Chain A
Amino acid sequence: MDPDVHLGVYICHCGVNISHTVDMDECRQFAEQRTDVRVARDFKFMCSDPGQELIKQDIQERGINRVVVACCTPLMHELTFRRACQGADLNPFLMQIANIREQCAWVHNNRELATEKAKAIINGAIARVRLHSELEPMRAEVNPATMVVGAGIAGIQAALDVAEAGHPVYLVEREASIGGHMARFDKTFPTLDCAACILTPKMVSIGHRPNVHLKTLTEVEDVQGFVGNFTVRLRERARYVTPDCTSCGECVKVCPVQVPDTFEEKLGPKTAIHKAFAQAVPNTFRIEKQGRPPCKQACPVHQDAAGYIALIREGRFREACALVRRQNPLPFICGRVCYHPCEQDCSRGNVDEPLAIQNLKRFLMDWEAKNLPRPDPPEIKERRTQRVAIIGAGPAGLTAAHDLSLKGYPVSVYEATDVLGGMLWLGLPAYRCPRDIVMRDIHYIEQMGVEFIRGKALGRDFSLHDLFAQGFGAVFVGTGAHKGFDLDIPGEDLEGVESGIDYLRNINLGLQQRTGRRVAVIGGGNTAIDAARTARREGAEVTILYRRTLAEMPAEKEELDDARAEGIDVRWLTAPTAIIGDGSVVTAIRCVDMELGEPDASGRHRPIPKSHSERELPFDQVIKAISQQPDSDWTQRSQGNGRGTLILTRWETLEVNPDSLQTGVEGVFAGGDVVSGPATVVAAMGQGRRAAEAIDKYLCGSPLTDFTTHLPPPNPREGFEERPHENALPYSKTPRVPRTIMPQLDPRRRIHTDDEVNLGFTEEQAQREASRCLSCGVCVECLECQRVCEPKAVKHDMTDKVDEVKVGQVLIATGHQLLDSRAMQQYGYGRLDNVVSSLEFERMLNSTGPTGGEVLCKNGEKPRAIGIVHCVGSRDENHHRYCSRVCCMYALKFAHLVTERTDAQVYQFYIDMRAFGKGCEEFYSRVLREGSTIIRGKVAEVVPSQRVDHRGRNGYLLMRCEDTLVGRFREIPVDMVVLCNALEPRADSVSLAQRFSLSRSPDGFFLERHPKLDPISTMNDGVYIAGTCQGPKDIPDSVAQAQAAASRILGLIAKGEVLIDPIRATIEEKSCSGCRMCNAVCPYHAITFEREQSVSKVNQALCKGCGTCVSTCPAGAIAGAGFTDDQLEAELEAVLV
């Protein structure tokens, strides 16, 4: 007995809802006997006014200070009875509901057991409420700013209503324009209003209202806070066009990429830069980019390959050449000798063969040489005074010189030999890389104002110190790797044994160089092939000896094929053990056969000599081409002189910072083969480019970080695994087109000349090859749109923006999607031409659609008969059990429009006709009168007809069904079938529900708080739902729901304040040991550790009252108001009685 506790128990009959199953008298008598219960009553309807009055009277007259109401679920009437208590000046939190309806009377049919259970539930509530204490609800201000997620008709309407009242609205839409599904419809049932005519004025006024903050291409990433005070994180995807866009459409004319338009249900094309539709809001174009094309990503200088290929396809060679030159300082050379990593990653390789990207570039440069003999050097915008010295005129040095010169620096290039180009001239044979080609690229760079100083070598003619003394601000060292490796076998000092690189240099410089009659080339790289083919042209019989097999050979396959075509013999798995001479001259090589063992560190199989396989092969010259290394002697003679020291690796290469490429000497940068060891032209160019960026930063005094020249490499080919872009066919279904082969000089002729072997593409060949490109990622960055944009609104370097917005309430109006009827194979969608979805048909009917409003079969003919199938995927146990609600009516609308516009006969196949709304039944009658044929029966299948009709046409479709009114099987011939696909929840509704703590009903649509009494609220206070995200509905219902939600939102804004249940955790500091376990479990980071007092504290504003910390605290120091340990334990004990 507690003299202070005066309990009143009120048991509700709920009409007969409860009393039907639960014995009211028994419950009341049971309650009367409980300790401290002063009064127990049962009543027909406790929630009615007289019922509530009973409670109030007892509180006021009999001093009741604890109330138990045994009735329906607390989610229904807890607030009602709390208010009743409050009306009688009793703290509302001293009332407890015993749920004996939903969780007792309605779920049991054994009266005895149900009564027993009801008694236990009441007992639990009594035990619990005894321990309740007075609580005060928390008050919070309501931020009047509101967020509407989804800008279809529902979202637009709600946003307008809230904005009209003068409050700020954030309207968030993931697409580029607002309008949603409605913007794609033609007419709307039953009134036949034009959808655009009634929607676009609303869209326009969204654009005009200053207090509507329109966020297109934006998605919600995260939601924090509570009703009245939400913080929402938004991610706005880059549009690549600024609001300066005047929507003139010039960019569309020059965009070379066309992909299927999703707005048109892929029935028509769109360009990569486009506006969704004529009346789009915002009236700004947008560039669709779905990732960087793999070819561009793979290239060390990030050449816009897909861009110039698209321009070649269009025959716009001049623009394509300019684009090549934008990223590539040595385009002629790259068109010939690049090892084209772009082709290895080309998505086309997933279909058939990669594009011939290198050959296309070469074609362009050949075209340029013919048509634009003197390309203008690029404009240099600003001039700088600090001078930069470049050592070595190879590809790395030339690239650095080009880039630095473009940035305005005066550049001097020092070259040790008398020719420019480095390895391009000294190492590459002329038949691969003609000298006039090399000179063309170098002339272009020279024209930019770069000074070339020939015959001056670092360490021989000058030192690094001299350069700084002459006033150079920075130095780039790109001296290459010109020293051939030795074989380390006996006989290497014999006459006739030389290194491949020396051999090639002597030939290329026209110096004295003997070539033998029978030449052995040792090695399997490109230098070996180059040396072999050069010796072949000098008239020798050439054999290449390689110690591994073809699979391990590092040389390019095309080069090897060409070499063999020229009659060069290749012996795999053969290694020399000694070079044998007669006196001082080579006569033979002693070789041994090899076999492959386990893979070594480089992943290649280690060759192992076979025993007793030694033999001698006769040769009179041996060319060693196993690898090169830098000649590092100069480093001894040229050091930093107080600026630091050059450090060499064990491969004799220079050690540099991997990001900035700066050497141990301040202001001295290095790149190319001298850093990486022998590598490729384009890799050296990549390093030259990075060094130029670093030198620019160095000279500007910026930190040597955050480089942009190399695009971030993670997740190579991400997003291109199955298809080149979202709207494209998967690789497996893309038609195959073989790669165009470049014509070559006849091998019998070419071994007698230094003429170029590859002859180049014709314009037709190039365009044919370019048309194989799949336009990975849609926009291929040809930058043509940027060129023609008058207001300079195109910005290809835009990035996604993440923004945080504070709002008081959120309306979710994210809409629906259509079921993909491919799953229902019997209808042939996706397999048979002329079986279309409802939305496709809608676009076809639309005067701005792909057919200009004409109903046409795929072959362009007008259909003679059209069959419309209702309930595709809805009211179907295999797909969705629910009715999609709008299909019957829009199917009738289709029938009307088809009858109005064509001579086609229309057949409707329905299960039940649902003309539920205002004016719908009348519309149904009207369409019937217009002569549509209505057949009651579900279509079993649609099959292509094998027969020829009386007009001699075939190719029509047969719809088979059972006419359930006539009771006969029917087969109707039609030219077109329209499927009324079910509306279904959007694919991402699960993740959206998680972000907003929404529940979903079994059909997947968002769950309202109550299906009848609160259809727009959710379980999350302050978050509302409207439109088809809540369930299938038509436009009037969506708008009505949106307006209802807006009025709820405005109501709360007007109130200005929300009361929040004081269900919060508090920490008793005395008991807190400071273990901080609660800090870690709180999902809202509401608990922080106070270092000074060594205790944890709860921030009441952040706490949401889940109680996880309460159950975690090992000291029992945390109490969760309303759900304390004592209260729960008392309830537990009581229900178990």
Chain B
Amino acid sequence: MTTATSTQTFTDTIDKSQTTPVWQPKIVAFLCNWCSYTGADLAGVSRIQWSPFVRTVRVMCSGRVDPTLVMKAFRLGADGVLISGCHPGDCHYSEGNYKAMRRVRLLRRVLQGFGIHPDRLRLVWVSASEGDVWAKVTDEMTETVRNLGQLRLES
């Protein structure tokens, strides 16, 4: 194991002696190529620890994230979905992040209709220079989803 010092995350608290694995949340994050994916990379370059339960999918723009993709993620077993784009006004494509913002607003309301807690979907703005912000966001989201528990959808 590494001896490198790291920021304290909840992963440090996992009891490794446990034989039956405890439930851990699965979170999918859609990251825009220009700001958020680069920001997440920066967290890596700066060795800022973030939640290993967040799996990233790169898209060109947060505006690309189709509501059906989010629904599909939940159906495929995600307990939470993060969408991260450039800050308002900074979108590489001018306004894709605003499109994402409108969609997410609506989608969070629709989710409730399906019995999915709206907090399982979160839209955040992370710029290319905000590695620390990205790490914080993932940890927060993991904590939120952990508190909400495993998502059980009736098929």
Q: Which residues of A contact B (CB under 8 A)?
A: 20-21, 73-75, 99, 101-114, 116-117, 120-121, 124, 990, 993-994, 997, 999-1002, 1007, 1019-1020, 1063, 1081, 1083-1084, 1104-1108, 1110-1112, 1120, 1123, 1125, 1128-1129, 1131-1133, 1135-1136
Q: In the complex the two chains form, is B76's CB within 8 Å of A110's CB?
A: no
Interface string of B40-61 (1 = CB under 8 A from A): 1101110111101101111111
The complex places the Cα of A124 from the Cα of B26 at a distance, in Å, of: 14
Q: Once the chains are docked, how many angstroms separate the CA of A363 from the CA of B60? A: 71
Interchain CA distance A198-B114 in the complex, whole Å: 71
Whether the Cβ atoms of A110 and B52 lie closer than 8 Å is yes
Given known contacts A1000-B127, A1111-B65, A1123-B64, is B41 in contact with A113 (CB within 8 Å)? no
The smallest C-beta distance from B97 to any residue of chain A, in angstroms, reads 10
Q: List 5 A-B contacts (CB under 8 A).
A: A110-B12, A120-B55, A1106-B63, A1108-B64, A1112-B99
With both beta carbons as reference points, the residue of chain A lying nearest to B2 in the complex is identified as A109
In contact, B90 and A993 (Cβ under 8 angstroms):
yes
Q: Does B155 contact A (CB under 8 A)?
A: no
Given contacts A1106-B61, A1136-B73, contact A117 B92 (CB under 8 A): no
Cα A284 to Cα B78 in complex, Å, equals 66
Instruction: Tell whether A1001 pairs with B57 under 8 Å between CB atoms, given A73-B41, A107-B135.
Output: no
Report Cα–Cα, A1063/B61, bound state, in Å.
12
19 new A-B pairs (CB below 8 Å) besides A99-B56, A113-B53, A117-B55? A75-B38, A99-B41, A102-B40, A109-B4, A109-B49, A113-B11, A124-B55, A1081-B99, A1083-B93, A1083-B95, A1108-B63, A1110-B64, A1110-B66, A1111-B65, A1111-B99, A1123-B59, A1125-B66, A1132-B72, A1136-B76
Chain B nearest CB: distance from A549 CB in Å? Answer: 52
B63 vs chain A, min Cβ distance (A)? 4
Complex: chain B residue closest to A121, CB-CB: B55
Q: Is the CB of B45 within 8 A of A1135?
A: no
Our count of residue pairs bridging A and B at CB distance below 8 angstroms stands at: 161
Contact residues in B for A112 (Cβ distance below 8 Å): 16
Do most interface residues of chain B lie in helix, strand or loop, or is the interface mixed? loop
Contact B44 A102 (CB under 8 A): yes
* B residues less than 8 Å from A1108 (CB atoms): 61, 63-64, 93, 96, 99
Give the shortest distance, in Å, between A1123 (CB) and chain B (any CB). 6
Q: Which residues of A contact B89 (CB under 8 A)?
A: 990, 994
- Return the contact of A999 from the options B48, B65, B73, B128 (Cβ within 8 A): B128
Judge whether B35 is part of the interface by a CB distance below 8 angstroms: yes
Q: Kindly list chain B residues whose C-beta atoms are within 8 Å of the C-beta of A1007.
A: 128-129
A462 to B129, CA, bound (A): 83
Complex contacts, B65 vs chain A, CB 8 Å: 1111
CA distance A99 to B29 in the complex (A): 14
A106-B44, A1083-B94 known; A113-B60 Cβ under 8 A: no
Is the Cβ of A999 less than 8 Å from the Cβ of B95?
A: no
In the bound complex, what is the Cα–Cα distance between A1063 and B93 (angstroms)?
13
Contact, CB under 8 Å: A999 / B93: no
Chain B: which residue is nearest A112 at the CB level? B16
Do the beta carbons of A107 and B48 come within 8 Å of each other? yes
Q: Does B153 contact A (CB under 8 A)?
A: no
Looking at the assembled complex, report how far the CB atom of A992 sits from the nearest CB atom of chain B, in whole angstroms: 12
Q: Which of A110, A993, A1063, A1129 contacts B69 (CB 8 A)?
A: A1129
User: B64-90: which residues lie under 8 A (CB-CB) from chain A?
Assistant: 64-69, 72-73, 76-78, 89-90
Closest residue of chain B to A108, judged by CB? Answer: B52
Q: A1135-B57, A1136-B78 are in contact. Are A1107 and B130 (CB under 8 A)?
A: no
Q: Contacts A106-B44, A1107-B60 known; A1132 to B49 CB distance under 8 Å?
A: no
Are B59 and A1128 touching (Cβ within 8 A)?
A: yes
A109 contact set on B, CB distance < 8 A? 1-2, 4, 6, 11-12, 49
Write the chain B residue with the least CB distance to A1122. Answer: B60
Report B-chain residues with C-beta under 8 Å of the C-beta of A121: 55
A110 in contact with B14 given A1111-B64, A1123-B60, A1136-B77 (CB within 8 Å): yes
